[in-house]
Each structure stands twice: as C-alpha cells, then as structure tokens.
A = this chain, B = another copy of it.
Amino acid sequence: MTEATTTANTDAPASRSSRDKLLASALACFDEHGLTGMTIEQIRRQANSSIGSLYHHFGNREGLIAALFLQLLDDQLAWSRTAIDAATTPYETLHALIHGYLDWVTHHPVEARFMYAARSEVARGENAAALKEKNRQRIGLLLAVLKAGIKSGSIRSLPPETFASLLVGPSENYCRAWLADRVQGKPVAHADVFVDAAWRAISATPCE
C-alpha cells in the first residue's frame, strides 16, 4: 500500500504480493469501518485472499495491525528524510521535520488516521519493542541537533524530554483535528504557523 498510495504503480496489480494486498485491504477496511469495526473476513475478501494466508503472514489480527502500522511509520520517516538530512542549522532541521510531517499527513489522510488510531494498541502488543526502537532512533537524531544548538547558544536550555512535544505537539494536534473534521484547512497550509511556533518555543532569540 506504500507504493500504491505514494506513486502510480507501473506493475500490474497481480504483481502485488498477497501480503501487500492484505495490508492495503486492512487500511481500506479501517477507513470504512474503523479499527474495532473492521473484521478479518472483510479484509480477507477485499484482498481476494484466504484466512489461512492472512494468519500465515501476520499471526493474528494484532499482528496485521502492527505490520501495517510499522510499515506506515517507515513511510512517514522516509518522506522527510532527504530534507532533514540536508538541513545544516537547527532551524532548517526543525523546518524540515515539521513541514515533512504536515505534508505527509496532508497527502496520506487515511494512513495517518490509522496510525493515530492504532498506535496505542501497537504500543502494548507483541511489537512494542519494534516501535520503541524506531522511536528512539528518531528522538536520538533530534536531540543531537538540539544539544549542539544549546551549546552554540541558539537554542535555550529546556528539559530534554519536553523538546519533541514542543516541536511537533501543535502539528500533531492539528493533524488529528483535521482528520476528525474539526478544522478545515489542510495541515501543510499552516506549515509556516507551526514552524514559527516551534522556533519561538525553543529559540534563545525568538524575536530577532
């Protein structure tokens, strides 16, 4: 579903593996019925697959949800990876991070809605460790940049565990609101507002 949603797939539909079709089908069923409403039978039928095949690939319902979640998480990180790696200053890093996040959600609303809905279940299930590891990588990368900024004086000293929340908290909150139809403007349309707010929150000299 990664490929299918991000690019026009040049391969014939039949070339998509059974596993991928099941993941794509799970996402579609989630969109239609919600996380608790979607059933194994629906997913299996829409993927033209069998119960046996589904359980062979994913073990159980939770495994299917976790697999979809982790794949989407990789997608999301890859989306802004290039821009983040190209950034040289803390501000550029922050800009790439937030803009990339807002942009990904704007272009993948169903995927994002699924991730918000599934995260807490994944975090307590069998694959909790895999999720924690990916989180640590992301946070580690970010904290390194910020600590350098603190030393150089461009970023003020704050409790390290609050940095991530200050940076992406407003963006995440707005994305959730958008996906729940509580606000109308696409997330990426407010990128400047959220980048600016993040910079004000952590910059030593926000008014210059």
- Listed in ascending order, the chain A residues whose CB lies under 8 Å from chain B are 34-36, 62, 113, 116-117, 120-121, 123-125, 132, 135, 158-159, 161-162, 164-166, 168-174, 177, 180, 182-185, 190, 193-194, 197, 200-201, 206-207
Let me know if A161 and B135 touch, CB within 8 A. Answer: no
Q: Are A197 and B166 in contact (CB under 8 A)?
A: yes
Q: How many copies does the complex hold?
A: 2
Please name all residues of chain B whose beta carbon is closer than 8 Å to the beta carbon of A172 when the two chains form the complex. Answer: 169, 172-173
Residues of B within 8 A of A135 (CB): 182
Separation of A200 and B159 alpha carbons in the complex (Å): 17
Say yes or no: A170-B162 contact (C-beta < 8 A), given A34-B124, A201-B201: yes
Please name all residues of chain B whose beta carbon is closer than 8 Å to the beta carbon of A125 when the two chains form the complex: 34
- Contact among B121, B165, B174 with A162 in the assembled complex (CB-CB below 8 Å): B174
- Given A171-B169, A174-B169, A207-B207, verify A162-B190 contact (CB < 8 Å): yes
List, sorted by A's number, 28 A–B pairs whose CB atoms are closer than 8 Å: A34-B125, A35-B36, A35-B120, A36-B62, A36-B121, A113-B120, A135-B182, A159-B185, A159-B190, A159-B193, A161-B174, A161-B183, A161-B184, A162-B174, A162-B193, A164-B173, A165-B170, A165-B173, A166-B170, A169-B169, A169-B171, A169-B172, A169-B173, A173-B173, A197-B200, A200-B200, A200-B201, A201-B201
